Amino acid sequence: MATKKKAAKKAAKKAAPKKKAAPKKKAAKKAAPKKKVKRTPNAAFMKALTPSADLAAVIGSKPVPRTEAVKKIWVYIKANKLQDSKNRRMINADAKLKPVFGGKGQVSMFDMAKHMSKHLK
């Protein structure tokens, strides 16, 4: 009996009309990619600021933009190996950096910019 049922199902499948596939929708045309425009730097970042006497001992006395001042501080930190060996986010202040960091012996790299901004006018 089981074989008769299987045979009947096969015959029904063959006899049943096939469904037509739905017509494919045309793909929407993609918009042309926008041309990359070179970003202009913010004027506030490019403004030359004069470092205080304490900061000038580290980066020099010439007026520099805030971004350059941060780069020069990092060059000084790397050259003198002032990053903490265990926690690299902390910066150990030497005699020149201590007045810049408000007298603190160790400062987080995230707080460094906050302390530096007090010395740039």
User: For position 16, what pLDDT does the model report?
Assistant: 57
User: For position 75, what pLDDT does the model report?
Assistant: 96
Distance CA 17, CA 15 (A): 6
Global pTM reads: 0.64
Nearest alpha carbon to residue 95 among 109, 76, 112: 76
User: For position 22, what pLDDT does the model report?
Assistant: 64
Nearest alpha carbon to residue 115 among 62, 64, 70: 70
Half-sphere exposure of 76 (CA within 13 A, CB side): 19
Pairing label, strands 90-92, 64-65? unpaired
Question: Which parts of the chain sit beneath pLDDT 50?
Answer: none
Pairing label, strands 106-108, 48-49? unpaired
